[in-house]
Structure 1
Amino acid sequence: MNFNDMVSTWYSWLSSLNNALVEPINRLSDGLGIPLISAFLFGLLGTTAPCQLSTNFGALAFLTRRANQRTATLRATLAYIVAKTLVYTAIGLLVLVVGRQVGNAIVPYVVWIRKIIGPLMIVLGLIVLGVIRMRFQLGQRLSRQLEQQAESIDANEVAPERELARQQYALAQAPGGAGMVALSANTAPSATAVSTATTAVVAPGARSSFLLGIAFGLAFCPTLFILFFGATMSLALRSAQGALFPAAFALGTVMPLALLVGVALVSSGAARRLRKGLRRANRPLRWLAGAVLILVGLHDTIVYWLL
């Protein structure tokens, strides 16, 4: 058997495997009317990227710092998710408009573009595995500026509540004050108690959470960049529902965060355990995702370069 025969056999076997595994999923997807599931899964895969791990856990700490204030926490979480979804949608729509305007001009290059996808997926798999390390961070400067602005807005939002807590504490410490905390005018509150009263932890506001969502939505590391611009938007350009793909991708990136916030509202201990579990699962999931991307990339490279 010569090399071409081996490649043909390989292609036939993979085609059979693809039909066996993918067709049921496609039928389920079509039956449910969810053609955007691939974009959502790309976003979910993007949560394993280093930049998404850090921003998601940072957002989790910010949003659930006072999880017992459920209404405020839910409002802040919704504002964060809406903001991040709007960022991806706006960027995606811009890519769609530009891509469709120049679509006719790139027709002669479609064959070569299709050939590049296989090697690109191999490179993406190696990046996911950490074999290739890329240092560029798209949008980091603007993201940091917006994050600082969000922190400033947050400080202004919580200041009145902290001042109210301080006044209530001072009233309770006064002779005859509410709760008769102080037994006499000579009983002074401890430094720890004063510090607690003046730095009372309150749930974040919607404005600061919205701005934080915009800030984190603009932060693209290499893995996320390729998954969004290379994988998701290439699918969007070929779909009649392309405008919805960026939003589906964004929802995939925030799904673990939404899950953790929901668990934190029920039990902070359970949220900590789930967060630790996700951290432990991140490595094997990255290895699995990287291996799948490399195998698919090898398949595409063989098919479009050697057949």
Structure 2
Amino acid sequence: MYELFTNITRLFYDPLINAVYNTEGIPILSALFLGILGSVAPCQLTGNIGAITIYGNRSLQKEVSWSQLFSFILGKIMVFSTLGLVVLLVGSGIEQSMTGILPWVRKMVGPLFIFIGLFMVGIIPLRWSLAFNHSRIKTDGKSGSFLMGVLFSLGFCPTMFLLFFGMFMPIVLSTSYGMALPPVFAIGTSIPVVLILFLMWYFEINRNLLKKSRRIGSIIQKTAGVFIILIGILDTITYWTI
């Protein structure tokens, strides 16, 4: 199954890697193209499909929640910026110590998708919230989106590991404004999600759909939930067997 995801990545590899090489003199563009290439890496592919399904479902029923999407991207920015800072301060050898940790983080993504999917189809009633300093953090709000961005970004696979530590970090270390590049890389990994939601917003897909039937929202959510569960099962089988 992992080989299937790798073959999908290869479809985008040549044009994107050529874009990276063609922008060697402009590090910020190289970082962006490497991030976009990372978005179709096997470990990021199912994560981005899941995020598109989750946010797309919310957009179809209500409207595009740009604040939640921003929180999702912010979670990614925090992870890649932190990793970049650690490498900058500690040295390039730090990635060797992460090879035993990051794969286990990646294994959590599949079960998380299954859990979210079960909630979306109504099998698990998710009515709880996390109380902290007399405030409540809703599981499907900005904090949940931020944590999802963090988890998806920490889920490294060999392809993403090579892209980030082998190709991206040398650019960071050789550039005077290197620490400004990890956020650009993070944004690049979010481009597919942003693009799909932008198109839904631009063509007012949610408004046009709701004009036809308001009851269709429940069907959409359950369909999206089943799709998320299937992604979670596929993801779990893939990354718990390699």
TM-score (norm 1): 0.46
Residue 89 (str. 1) matches residue 25 (str. 2):
no
CA distance in 2, matches of 1:156, 1:78: 24
In structure 2, the residue matched to 1:185 is none
CA distance in 2, matches of 1:94, 1:216: 19
Aligned to 1:227, which of 163, 166, 190? 163
In structure 2, the residue matched to 1:141 is 104
Residue 69 (str. 1) matches residue 62 (str. 2):
yes
1:99-135, Cα deviation, whole Å (9 max, x unpaired):
28x9xxxxxxxxxxxxxxxxxxxxxxxxxxxxxxxxx
Q: CA deviation at 1:157?
A: 6.6
Q: CA deviation at 1:145?
A: 4.7
- The correspondence of residues 143-158 of structure 1 with structure 2, limited to 5 A, is 143=106, 145=108, 148=112, 151=116, 155-156=126-127
CA distance in 2, matches of 1:228, 1:96: 13
In structure 2, the residue matched to 1:208 is 144
CA distance in 1, matches of 2:128, 2:167: 39
Q: 1:210 to 1:143 in 2, by over 3 A?
A: farther
Q: CA deviation at 1:253?
A: 0.6
Instruction: Give structure 2 stretches of 5+ with no counterpart.
Output: 1-20, 94-98, 120-124, 130-138, 207-242
In structure 2, the residue matched to 1:99 is 91
In structure 1, the residue matched to 2:71 is 79
Question: What RMSD, in angstroms, separates the aligned Cα atoms of the two structures?
Answer: 3.6
Q: 1:204 to 1:262 in 2, by over 3 A?
A: farther
CA distance in 1, matches of 2:199, 2:127: 28
CA distance in 1, matches of 2:108, 2:42: 20
Instruction: Give structure 1 stretches of 5+ with no counterpart.
Output: 1-20, 30-34, 103-135, 159-202, 270-307
Residue-pair matches, total: 164
Identity %: 31
TM-score (norm 2): 0.57
User: Counterpart of 1:55 in structure 2: which amino acid?
Assistant: G
Q: CA deviation at 1:53?
A: 1.2
Q: 1:50 to 1:94 in 2, by over 3 A?
A: same
